[in-house]
């Protein structure tokens, strides 16, 4: 079956593009000595995880659910962090994980005996209070952040680091290696006396390694120097960089209405299927959009939410060289990361199916969804 024959909506991942990203991430690992993990919070496309597992060292998880998913799909290391672990879940998490990262010394004190008995390597998440992010909603080190221990609190609260083998920080979102250099300077200035006592340091995610123009050589140099200076193992955990530009979301035009503008109603949804376009917000690229096209449309989702319009409020119109017709397909580029993992069944709307294709558009694997997902959640 060819991708042109599928029903919509559907996420389509292109195998060769995923491999290209993974090869670059593997290159970073081989030349810097860092272990690269896939952050499931950003990329959990199950049909491609056998490839990810063959190139990277494992997965990083945000709790029990992702840890169980990682155990199913990965043969490498599993690292788990949560803002707060539940007592009812900690034993299962420790049974799955190689590393566990605590968000506070309260949590470490509560679970340290269990960690000791499990022989899992434990770490503390720190907050360097320096970060780079396009918006406050994605800034893990912003004012009043609940994520990580600040240097002031770290020095006041810890009395014994026995059992703590690593530090973890996450201070980037879609950022450059130059931004990482600034964060590392802050980490060294504020936690420098702790670093030599550690076995490992996790630089977190937000490294936009596979984006065009990213300074890969600087990243490699930063990691090398940090490893040599402190004698630690270094981890990085990109999610978006794994799935960056590897696929798209294809939808169909169900109707075209007019109310001061032409509005194409699609069988997809910004609210349910592309949530970051609303939260970030950002305007997704549409295939075959023409900058000076004379046929102008707003693209609306198929939910009852009035604001379910795809595109920025300041720039909600899409231009095409040819008029859209009912039944036409609209393809939103770069929709494999931070979309599938955030999907909802709001209004009972169908989750998009998943497809992995080759360079000829032939379907290698697929996964389909229907009413059952809505029924199980309500």
Whole-number pLDDT of residue 213: 97
Instruction: Indicate whether 252 and 238 sit together in one domain.
Output: no
Q: Which of 121-130, 136-145, 344-353 has the lowest mean pLDDT?
A: 136-145
Whole-number pLDDT of residue 44: 97
- Tell me if 126 sits within 8 A of 153, measured CB to CB: no
Instruction: Indicate whether 166 and 230 sit together in one domain.
Output: yes
3-state secondary structure at position 134: coil
Rounded mean pLDDT of 275-300? 93
pLDDT at 302 over 80: yes
Instruction: Indicate whether 293 and 277 sit together in one domain.
Output: yes
Domain boundary among 203, 225, 243: 243
In the DSSP assignment, the letter for residue 332 is E
Rounded mean pLDDT of 132-136? 83
CATH number at residue 350: 2.40.37.10
CATH number at residue 174: 3.20.20.10
Closest among 109, 111, 174, 168 to 137, alpha carbons compared: 174
Instruction: Indicate whether 224 and 282 sit together in one domain.
Output: no
Whole-number pLDDT of residue 280: 85
Instruction: Indicate whether 260 and 122 sit together in one domain.
Output: no
- What gap in Å lies between CA 348 and CA 341, rounded to an integer? 17
Whole-number pLDDT of residue 312: 83
Whole-number pLDDT of residue 281: 85
Whole-number pLDDT of residue 279: 85
Instruction: Indicate whether 272 and 164 sit together in one domain.
Output: no
Token pair recorded at residue 43: 């990329």
Q: What are phi and psi of 111, to 5 degrees?
A: -115, 5
Instruction: Indicate whether 77 and 131 sit together in one domain.
Output: yes
Query: What's the structural domain count of the chain?
Result: 2
pLDDT tens sequence across 314-336: 889 999 999 999 999 999 999 99
pLDDT band at 256 (very low <50, low <70, confident <90, very high): very high
Instruction: Indicate whether 283 and 239 sit together in one domain.
Output: no
Q: Higher-confidence residue: 92 or 160?
A: 92
Q: Which of 44-53, 75-84, 261-270, 304-313 has the lowest mean pLDDT?
A: 304-313
Whole-number pLDDT of residue 304: 95
Instruction: Indicate whether 219 and 256 sit together in one domain.
Output: no
pLDDT tens sequence across 174-219: 999 999 999 999 999 999 999 999 999 999 999 999 999 999 999 9
Whole-number pLDDT of residue 40: 98
Q: What are phi and psi of 149, to 5 degrees?
A: -100, 125
Whole-number pLDDT of residue 376: 93
Rounded mean pLDDT of 86-99? 98
Q: How do 10-14 and 35-39 pair as beta strands?
A: unpaired
Helices (H), the chain: 15-32, 49-55, 64-73, 87-96, 105-118, 151-157, 177-191, 216-230, 240-243, 270-273, 276-279, 371-377
Rounded mean pLDDT of 139-165? 91
Quote the percentage of the chain above a pLDDT of 70. Answer: 100
pLDDT at 159 over 80: no
Instruction: Indicate whether 20 and 169 sit together in one domain.
Output: yes
Say which residues have a Cβ less than 8 Å from residue 5's Cβ, sequence separation at least 6: none
- What gap in Å lies between CA 271 and CA 118, rounded to an integer? 41
Whole-number pLDDT of residue 1: 84
Rounded mean pLDDT of 166-181? 96
Domain boundary among 214, 243, 272: 243
| Enclosing domain of residue 24 | 15-243
Whole-number pLDDT of residue 160: 80
Instruction: Indicate whether 170 and 182 sit together in one domain.
Output: yes
pLDDT band at 123 (very low <50, low <70, confident <90, very high): very high
Instruction: Indicate whether 288 and 298 sit together in one domain.
Output: yes
Q: Which residues pair with 38 in a beta bridge?
A: 59
Whole-number pLDDT of residue 310: 94
At residue 96's C-alpha, the angle toward residues 95 and 98, to 5°, is 100
Domain boundary among 243, 271, 286: 243
In the DSSP assignment, the letter for residue 301 is -
Whole-number pLDDT of residue 78: 98
Q: Quick one: residue 98, left, alpha or beta (phi over 0 = left, psi -120 to 50 = alpha)?
A: alpha
Rounded mean pLDDT of 226-237? 98
Rounded mean pLDDT of 40-56? 98
Closest among 348, 331, 346, 360 to 10, alpha carbons compared: 331
């Amino acid at each position: 079956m060819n991708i042109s024959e599928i029903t919509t909506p559907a996420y389509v991942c292109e195998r060769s593009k995923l491999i290209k990203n993974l090869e670059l991430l593997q290159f970073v690992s081989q030349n810097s000595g860092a272990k690269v993990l896939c952050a499931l919070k950003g990329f959990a496309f199950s049909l491609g995880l056998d490839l990810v597992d063959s190139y990277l060292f494992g997965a990083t998880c945000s709790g029990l659910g992702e840890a169980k998913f990682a155990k199913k799909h990965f043969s490498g290391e599993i690292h788990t962090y949560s803002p707060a672990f539940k007592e009812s879940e900690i034993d299962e998490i420790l049974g799955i994980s190689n590393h566990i990262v605590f968000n506070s010394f309260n949590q470490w004190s509560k679970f340290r005996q269990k960690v000791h008995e499990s022989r899992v390597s434990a770490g503390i998440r720190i907050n360097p209070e320096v970060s780079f992010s396009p918006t406050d909603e994605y800034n893990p080190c912003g004012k009043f952040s609940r994520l990580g221990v600040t240097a002031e609190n770290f020095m006041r609260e810890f009395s014994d680091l026995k059992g703590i083998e690593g530090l973890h920080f996450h201070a980037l979102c879609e950022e450059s290696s130059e931004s990482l250099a600034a964060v590392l300077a802050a980490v060294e200035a504020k936690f420098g006396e702790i670093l030599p006592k550690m076995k490992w340091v996790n630089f977190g995610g937000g490294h936009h390694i596979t984006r065009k123009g990213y300074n890969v050589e600087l990243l490699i140099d930063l990691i090398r120097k940090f490893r040599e200076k402190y004698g630690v193992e270094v981890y990085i955990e990109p999610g978006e960089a794994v799935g960056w530009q590897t696929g798209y979301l294809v939808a169909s035009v169900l109707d075209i209405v007019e109310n001061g503008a032409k509005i194409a109603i699609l069988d997809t949804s910004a609210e349910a299927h592309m949530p970051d376009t609303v939260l970030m917000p950002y305007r997704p690229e549409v295939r075959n959009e023409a900058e000076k096209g004379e046929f102008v449309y707003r693209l609306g989702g198929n939910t009852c939410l009035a604001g379910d319009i795809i595109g920025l409020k300041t720039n909600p119109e899409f231009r095409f060289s040819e008029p859209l017709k009912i039944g036409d397909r609209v393809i939103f580029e770069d929709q494999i990361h931070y979309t599938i993992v955030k999907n909802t069944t709001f209004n009972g709307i169908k989750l998009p199916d998943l497809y992995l294709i080759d360079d000829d558009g032939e379907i290698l694997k697929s996964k389909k969804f229907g009413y059952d997902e809505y029924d199980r959640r309500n």
